[in-house]
Amino acid sequence: MTDLDSKIFVAQKAFIEKNGKVLVLRDPAYVIDGQVGLDFPGGRFRYGVDPHEELKREIAEETGLEVEIGRPFMTWANINHKRVSNKFEIYLIGFECKYKSGEVTLSEEHDGFEWVDEKSYNKWKEDSSYFQALEQYFRFKKGV
């Protein structure tokens, strides 16, 4: 494989806060050491589409929620992402989002969810960039 054979996608993920907790999703297509993986609503940027409107659409599609998109608080790379071949790398941008309305209704992409806070998020601990992003989210909220 040459450098020209690899591709990089840019994606965004929503860290939706409601009553001091953030929404995490279970992704059955992503398994680490026998444990179903952690995910957040979002998706890849599409050419010619407003990124905030695209993130709102992805959130509504994956969770049924309406949110207010806030500022980005971190970036990270996810190499060998579960949904694409190993010729791809996804560069992710995590956005702070505020819950506005709706009840969580999951799409077929996810099979579970939980609202977690700084005291309860460790039950989702896994060796992934998504868990590291969740840890960073709570550091960001503390101003660290």
Question: For the CA atoms of the chain, what is the radius of gyration?
Answer: 15
pLDDT value at residue 5 = 60
pLDDT value at residue 55 = 97
Whether 37 contacts 109, CB under 8 Å: no
How do residues 13-37 score in pLDDT, each as one tens digit? 999 999 999 999 999 887 766 666 8
User: What range defines the domain where residue 56 resides?
Assistant: 3-142
pLDDT value at residue 79 = 57
Q: Which domain CATH number covers 113?
A: 3.90.79.10
Residue with more model confidence, 98 or 7 = 98
Helix or strand holding residue 75 (H, E): strand 66-79
Residues paired with 25 in a beta bridge: 39, 113
Q: What is 77-132 written as a DSSP string?
A: EEET-TTS-TTEEEEEEEEEEEEEE------TT-SEEEEE-TTTGGGG--SSHHHH
How do residues 66-119 score in pLDDT, each as one tens digit? 999 999 999 998 754 454 455 678 899 999 999 999 999 999 999 999 999 999
* pTM, entire model: 0.88
pLDDT value at residue 107 = 94
Q: How many structural domains comprise the chain?
A: 1
pLDDT value at residue 77 = 86
Pairing of strands 112-116, 21-32: antiparallel
pLDDT tops 80 at residue 49: yes
pLDDT value at residue 4 = 55
DSSP state for residue 49 in the 8-state scheme: S
